[in-house]
């Protein structure tokens, strides 16, 4: 089902009784502005929640002993070495 923005503004109650996915489009540009899912079709976990645990099992190598800043610093230095071939130390 597709509707325009003005139709949605006039009849906002249609969102409460959705039975199928609703696409809100801009009729001038024919561009989809929003996709509204019925409450029953909403995914159980949001994409943010799904991606939040991606690196939860990751561990730093033992040489860093839990020091995240040292790991980031070493990664940055390694990237500089790859990019420029030398490291500009102070």
**Residue-range definition of the domain harbouring residue 74:** 58-85
What's the CA gap between 58 and 61, in Å, rounded?
10
* 35-58: b (≥16 Cβ within 10 Å) or e: eeeeeeeeeeeeeeeeeeeeeeee
Q: What is the pLDDT of residues 27-49, one digit of tens each?
A: 888 888 888 888 776 667 777 77
The residue ranges of the chain whose pLDDT is under 50 are 90
Residues 7 and 35 in one domain: yes
Query: What tokens does 17 get?
Result: 């009784």
Please check whether residue 46 lies inside any domain of the structure. no
Please check whether residue 29 lies inside any domain of the structure. yes
Q: Is 0.95 topped by the overall pTM? A: no
Please check whether residue 73 lies inside any domain of the structure. yes
Residues 6 and 37 in one domain: yes
Please check whether residue 70 lies inside any domain of the structure. yes
User: How confident is the model at residue 14, as a pLDDT?
Assistant: 75
Q: How many domains does the chain fold into?
A: 2
Please check whether residue 19 lies inside any domain of the structure. yes
User: How confident is the model at residue 88, as a pLDDT?
Assistant: 58
User: How confident is the model at residue 81, as a pLDDT?
Assistant: 86
User: How confident is the model at residue 24, as a pLDDT?
Assistant: 86
CB 6 within 8 A of CB 24: no
Continuous segment of H or E residues that includes residue 80: helix 68-84
């Amino acid at each position: 089902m597709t509707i325009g923005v003005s139709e949605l503004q006039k009849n906002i109650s249609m969102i409460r009784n959705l039975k199928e996915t609703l696409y809100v489009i801009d009729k001038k540009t024919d561009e989809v502005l929003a996709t509204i899912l019925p409450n029953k079709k909403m995914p159980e976990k949001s994409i943010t929640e799904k991606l939040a645990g991606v690196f939860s099992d990751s561990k730093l190598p033992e040489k860093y002993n839990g020091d995240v800043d040292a790991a980031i610093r070493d990664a940055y230095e390694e990237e500089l070495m790859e990019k420029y071939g030398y490291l500009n130390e102070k």
